[in-house]
Amino acid sequence: MNAILSSDDFSKKKRENLLAYDIYEENFVGTITCLEKLRKAFGQPEEKLKKIPLYNFMVATQEQAWNVVNNIANMYSAGHSVNEIRSRYPEALECWELYAKYNEEYDNSQKNENDRGFPHFALPGKEYDKVNRMLCFAILLGWGSLVERLIKIIDFNNHEKDGMIERILSYYSENRSVSLNDCVRHLPYFKTLKIFSASEKDRPALMAEYLEDWYHASRREPYYDAHTRDISFWGYWSWEAAAITFLLDIDDSSYASAQFYPKDLVDFARQARKDYAPEGTDPMAPSELRAKAGEPCPKTGLWQALDVVPELRRYQQHEEMENLGSRYGLTVWRFTEQ
C-alpha cells in the first residue's frame, strides 16, 4: 500500500494528462526518501542530536513539510485511489507539526528582535498555495477532525488574514474574520468571496464561472505554467473550489466535468460524512483518527472497532485494515494509541 504506480497503471489511471511519469516518480520517491532519511536522523542517540544546530532541524523539517503536501497532490494527479491518498494525510500533518515545532524554537532563539516573529507559512507569500492545499486536503479527504491542529500552524504569526481562508476555517473554528473582503494573494481566490455570500440558487453558476477563469486568474501563483518547469508540477486543480463546494453543499452537477475541478474528491468528502461516523456511532471528535476496512492504516498503533463490543487490533502504517462484519457494514476503526 506504500507502492509507486507502475508506468502502465499510471498511463491508465492518471487524472492529470500533463503529468509525466518521470516527474511523478521523482516526486513520489523523493518524498518517501525524505521521510525515511529524517526518521533515521531523529533516531540517533540523544547526545548526537544535541550537537546538531537548531537551524538544521528547522530547514530539514521544512523541506519535509513541503514534500508531503506536494506528494498528496502528486498522488492524486497520478491516479492513486482516494482511500490511499487519505491514509497519507495524518502523517503529512505530523510533518507540518514537526516543522512548526522547530521553526518556533528557531524563531524564539533569535537574539535580534527583527529576526523573530515570522510565520510557519506566510500567507501573503507563495506559501499560501501550500496552506490552501493542506487545508483543502483535510476537508476533502474526510479529515475535518484534524483541521483544529492545522489552524494552530496557519495562525502562528500570520497577522494578515485572508478572506477565503478565514471563511473556510469558520466551519471548524469560532471567531474567524469572515467579514474580510479581500484575499492576501487576491486572484484567483478573491473571486470565491462572492460565492460564500451568494444565495443557494446562484452559487452553482458562480462556481462554474470561477472554474472557467481559474487558471488564467492564477498567473501570479507559483503553480501557473508549472508543467513547463523541471519537477515542480503535480497537477492543475482548484482544490478550493472543491472544498467550498463541499462546505456550502453546492449542487455541482452543472460544473462536474469542468477542467481543474476534482469532482471525485467532493464525492468522497460527501460520502465520508456517513462512512466514518455510521448511524448509531459517535461523530468524530477533534483530532480523532478513523479509517474503514479495506483502507491502508494511516498510523501505526492500536485501533478499536466501533462495534457494540469493541475489538482492538494493532496495525502497521499502510497495512490493510480488516473487516469484522460490523452491524453497520464495513468496519470503522478508531485510533487509540501508538
Tell me the mean pLDDT in the region 96-118.
95
**pLDDT score recorded for residue 266:** 99
Q: Where are the alpha helices (DSSP H) in the chain?
A: 7-13, 21-42, 46-49, 54-78, 82-109, 128-140, 147-155, 163-169, 193-197, 203-217, 239-247, 263-275
* Domain with 155 in it: 7-275
pTM over 0.85, yes/no:
yes
Q: With respect to residue 285, please indicate whether it lies within any of the assigned structural domains.
A: no
Residue 175 lies in a domain: yes
Shared-domain flag, residues 308 and 228:
no
Beta pairing class for 312-315 and 332-337: unpaired
Chain segment 215-267, per-residue pLDDT in tens = 999 999 999 999 998 889 999 999 999 999 999 999 999 999 999 999 999 99
Report the number of distinct structural domains present in the chain: 2
Calculate what percentage of the chain has a pLDDT beyond 70.
99
The answer on 264 and 150 residing in a single domain is: yes
pLDDT digits (tens, 9 = 90+) for 178-213: 999 999 999 999 999 999 999 999 999 999 999 999
In the chain, what percentage of residues exceed pLDDT 90? 91
In terms of domains, do 67 and 122 share one?
yes
As a whole number of angstroms, the distance between CA 235 and CA 72 comes to: 11
* Sheet containing 312-315: order of strands: 290-292, 332-337, 301-305, 312-315
CATH number of the domain enclosing 211 = 1.10.3920.10
Place of cell 499502510: 318
The answer to the question of residue 221 being in a domain is yes
pLDDT at 279: 85
If asked whether residues 166 and 299 sit together in one domain, one would say: no
**48 lies in some domain:** yes
304-331 pLDDT per residue, tens: 999 867 899 999 999 999 999 888 888 9
* Same domain (yes/no): 269, 329: no
- Please indicate, yes or no, whether residues 179 and 298 belong to a single structural domain of this protein: no
The answer as to whether 283 is a domain residue is: no
Looking at the fold, whether 201 and 235 belong to one and the same domain comes out as yes
If you average pLDDT over residues 294-308, what whole number do you get? 93
What pLDDT is recorded for position 2?
Answer: 64
User: Do 295 and 216 share a structural domain?
Assistant: no
> Quick one: average pLDDT of 45-57?
96
* Predicted pLDDT at 25: 97
Whether 1 has a pLDDT exceeding 60, the answer reads no
Q: Which residues neighbour 113 within 8 Å (Cβ) at sequence distance 6 or greater?
A: none
245 and 330 assigned to the same domain: no
Q: Is position 84 within any domain?
A: yes
The Cα 305–Cα 293 span in angstroms is: 10
Please indicate, yes or no, if residue 280 is contained in any of the structural domains: no
Question: Is pLDDT above 80 for 214?
Answer: yes
What is the rounded distance in angstroms from the CA atom of residue 9 to the CA atom of residue 63?
29
> Same structural domain for residues 59 and 182?
yes
Q: Of 249, 275, 301, which one is at a domain's C-terminal end?
A: 275
pLDDT tens per residue across span 120-171: 999 999 999 999 999 999 999 999 999 999 999 999 999 999 999 999 999 9
Q: Report the pLDDT averaged over residues 17-22.
A: 98
Please, which pLDDT band fits residue 17 given cuts at 50, 70 and 90? very high
State phi, psi for 199 to the nearest 5 degrees. -70, 160
Mean pLDDT of 43-47: 95
pLDDT of residue 165: 99
- Report how far residue 225's alpha carbon sits from residue 153's, in angstroms, rounded to the nearest whole number: 29
Mean pLDDT over the full length of the chain = 96
Q: Is the same domain home to 103 and 184?
A: yes
